[in-house]
Chain A
Amino acid sequence: MYIGVLGAWVAVFLTLSILSYLYKDNVFYKLAEHIFVGVSAAHWATIAFWNQVQPNLFGRLWPQAEVAALEGFNKFWYGIYHVLHVLFKKVFPEDVINGTLYRGIGDQPQNLSYLIAFVLGLFMLFRLIPKIGWLSRWALAYVIGMAAGLRLYGYMSSDVIGQIHATMLPLWTGNLGDSINNIILIVGVLTGLFYFFFSVEHKGALKVVSRIGIYFLMVYFGASFGFAVMGRISLLIGRFNDLIEYSGKQYGFATPILLVVMVVVLILAGRKEKQADKAEV
């Protein structure tokens, strides 16, 4: 209960602090901005480690296993994990090697080929050491190659071929409205593509084609802007709805109290600023 009320007060304070920037740059905004940057960095570092590095790398090198039942190479291998656990308890939790599932980590079968990824990951960190920083290029080369390969097929089949196929439309369908739509679509695609064709100077009739392409692009940008405004207003509505909800008795009138306090502080700070300016003059 108290945690809920405290959470509401924090949420209201941070929301109003960020919105106060619309008036002018001030101490509340600066505070909220710094908290946001710090908390975001910590949140994403934690998420990246526990959701990416741990399950995808360590969880596959040392999946959940009963250490006592291990034999041969795996006994030695899990011994390494045990040493790591002794050195860095929080990063290498004991639960994993005890055969219990910890935060869903270690539910995949063991795969030692991930050692290659581990080494490449270390190479990335070598950028911090100028003498051997060149090794990071190997890791980057792998990432770029893998990403290009993974995405190439998807883009080729769905974006390139799929979209070209979808543009091959009849100019006359028997229905006037559909036919006009098809003509607009085909003209838009062709002129839009031509606008980005720079091997020929855009003059004369070609300039007209290119200009029509620009108009189509402008319509696209206008529509994008409209959707962006719509999205931002939706988010503002979301925040305002929370502020209204937290203005009730059950949340200790968080919104009105904090709003009044912040307005008073901003007015006083503004006056002090003016007095300081006058004194300087």
Chain B
Amino acid sequence: MGKFMNFLEKLDSLDRRIIFLIIGLVVLIPLLIPLGLPIETTNLTEDAFYAVDALPANAKVLLSFEYGPSSKPEIHPIAVSVLRHLFSKGNKVVIMCLWPDGLFMANEALELVAHQEFNLEYGVDYVNLGYRPGNEAVIKGITKSFEANFSVDSRGIPISQIPIMHDVQTARDMDFIFSFSAGYPGAIEWVLYAGDPLQVPVSSGNSSIQVNQLLPYVKSGQMKGVIAGMPGAAEYETLLIQKVEGREGLLINKANALLPDFKEKRDATKFMDAQSIAHLVIVLFIILGNVSYFVKRKKQQKY
């Protein structure tokens, strides 16, 4: 018992590099040897998923990319899953970016989902309007007119010549707004300057660190759920596969054919083993740290 108490006491002065090494190993090992831990879905992700799922065929959805390479591991799988979900239902997608790097992220996601997987027609099924500087001023701008803010798309084509934009004058003409956001400008600005004033439903896929700030908007109904970082993305991937497998709701034939691809390319799900094990170890460290602190304090009180 005495030896165990001494061990607990010594934990307090453990070299931090040992902790880094352990965290590194518990992240690395599940990436090399996947455990296939089950993914349980939460209300936050389900709200976002079913809000998107309830959109009718041919509904127009505005996707805004507000993240870059630094937050790509968290948000890019969300963007890919949401695009797959929308295209599986035959929805039309209009993309814009409030971050300069968002354009590269959007192009990468579109190349995989719209081009390689669904083989959709640019300008008819989807369009990438590109990046415009101005943060929330751009959001306010498109509530008045798309053309005044995006006279051309990311390929330099005038938006008056893009079929998907023919009946889109302002953001009010959108059936849903989805923001992939890693900070400012991002999901909050979409709620404040487009969702609330126009009464267009807004949802978001976010970096984990932002989620606490967004929860009040979800609770108040100003946002339709939130996809919280990598775990949220894994949940969304699971829900989408369940939908396609179970042939639930609106679904185009192509989606059934792509099911093996959806299962194979689940970036967030394959990373969740590492995430879960790392969290377990961190919780263990916190408990051990607290026990060590109290053991040390009790010993000091004796003298």
Contact = CB atoms under 8 A, between A and B. Distances in A.
A234 B136 contact: no
A235 B192 contact: no
A55 B74 contact: no
B221 interface: yes
A77 interface: no
B193 interface: yes
Contacts of B274: 233, 237, 240
Given A56-B134, A150-B140, A241-B271, A234 B192 contact: no
B133 A51 contact: yes
A158 B271 contact: no
B31 A241 contact: yes
Interface size on B, as a range, is 35 or more
Contacts of B131: 51
A166 B133 contact: no
Given A23-B17, A230-B229, A231-B229, A158 B208 contact: no
B131 to A, nearest CB: 7
B197 A235 contact: no
A131 interface: no
B137 interface: yes
A222 B222 CA distance: 24
Interface string B136-173: 11001000000010011010100000000000000000
Secondary structure of the A side of the interface? Answer: helix
Interface in A151-172: 151, 154-155, 157-159, 162-163, 165-166
A223 interface: yes
Given A230-B231, A237-B73, A240-B31, A150 B137 contact: yes
Nearest to B271: A237
Contacts of A236: 23, 27, 278
A166 B220 contact: yes
A52 interface: yes
Contact of B74 (A108, A229, A231, A244): A231
A133 interface: no
A23 B18 CA distance: 9
Interface in B247-270: none
A229 B228 CA distance: 13
A56 B31 contact: no
B207 A231 contact: yes
A72 to B, nearest CB: 25
Given A166-B216, A230-B279, A158 B192 contact: yes
Contacts of B154: 104
B208 A107 contact: no
Interface size on A, as a range, is 35 or more
A104 to B, nearest CB: 6
Given A47-B100, A240-B28, A240-B31, A234 B152 contact: no
Given A157-B196, A157-B197, A227-B228, A55 B133 contact: yes
Given A166-B216, A238-B72, A240-B28, A233 B20 contact: no
A185 B131 CA distance: 39
A163 B188 CA distance: 13
Contacts of A231: 74, 207-209, 229
A55 B134 CA distance: 11
Interface in B2-32: 17, 20, 23, 27-28, 31-32
B211 interface: yes
Which of A23, A229, A244 has its CB near the most chain B CB atoms (within 10 A)? A229
Contacts of A238: 72-74, 271
Nearest to A221: B212
A220 interface: yes
A235 B71 contact: yes
Contacts of B275: 230, 233-234, 237
Given A104-B130, A234-B271, 5 more contacts: A51-B131, A185-B219, A231-B229, A236-B278, A244-B32
Interface of A: 22-23, 47, 51-52, 55-56, 101, 104, 107-108, 150-151, 154-155, 157-159, 162-163, 165-166, 185, 220, 223-224, 227-231, 233-241, 244
21 contacts: A101-B156, A104-B152, A104-B154, A108-B148, A155-B192, A158-B222, A166-B216, A220-B212, A224-B212, A230-B208, A230-B228, A230-B230, A231-B208, A233-B274, A234-B208, A235-B70, A235-B71, A235-B73, A237-B230, A237-B271, A238-B74
